[in-house]
Amino acid sequence: MSKGREFYERVLKSPKFVVAPMVDQSELPWRLLSRRHGAQLCFSPMYSANTFVHDHTYRNKVVQDLSSTEDHPLIVQFCSNSAENFLEASKLVEGLCEGVDLNLGCPQHIAKRGHFGAYLQEDWDLIIEIISTTKQHIGIGVTAKIRVFNEIDKTVKYAQMLETAGCDIITVHGRTREQKGPNTGLASWDHIKAVKDNVDIPVFANGNIQYYCDIMRCMETTGVDGVMVAEGNLTNPMIFQGI
């Protein structure tokens, strides 16, 4: 059994219904509400690793959000373009969660300006450094949430690079970096299925989920281990129960 598979099954208890990291949305009250209605794993909102490490007030606010004993299993998501900052932030939350996630999917202008999120897509050496360094020095899981490239083959190679670097789980949002705002369009489940078929670690799918039937159809179509839901969860926190 791979370390990623062991983390998914033994630590996270094989979750299939996952609440996405959503800034100003997936804080503790929403996560607890979602768990009461079937969510099996929650991600925190995206936090800045650099600010978390260096700003005491910001860190205290985040730690307070991670303080509930009811809120597990939990993965804390950080954005970062520094292996040092991501590792230090991960160490500071190590006793509060089951894993940390590197945000490689944020497509917003602030991410472009700060060189994080989906704007690290071309900087594979930096991504490898962040993931591998952190994986070597902490005792919790390390995951990543990505967006896809236009080309399926390049997306698969990207995911394989993350696996080799030490990722325990990959979440694939089946949209490109350019698919946002009025250009959002549909997520490509073909990309997600190709990743799932070509890595050995667990894969979560993200995109095109509005109803419970979408979750079931996505799992059947792509073969993924779990489905991460964002807007569909906000529209209906009981989505995982099919209510």
In angstroms, rounded to a whole number, what is the distance separating the alpha carbons of residues 103 and 118?
Answer: 8
* Element containing residue 193 per DSSP (H, E): helix 189-198
Among candidate residues 106, 167, 213, 218, the one labeled active-site is 106
What does DSSP assign to residue 177? T
What does DSSP assign to residue 52? H
Is residue 97 part of the annotated active site? The answer reads: no
Helix %, strand %, coil % of the chain (to 5): 45, 20, 35
In angstroms, rounded to a whole number, what is the distance separating the alpha carbons of residues 21 and 208?
Answer: 16
β-bridge mates for residue 101, sequence order: 77, 143
Residues with catalytic function:
106
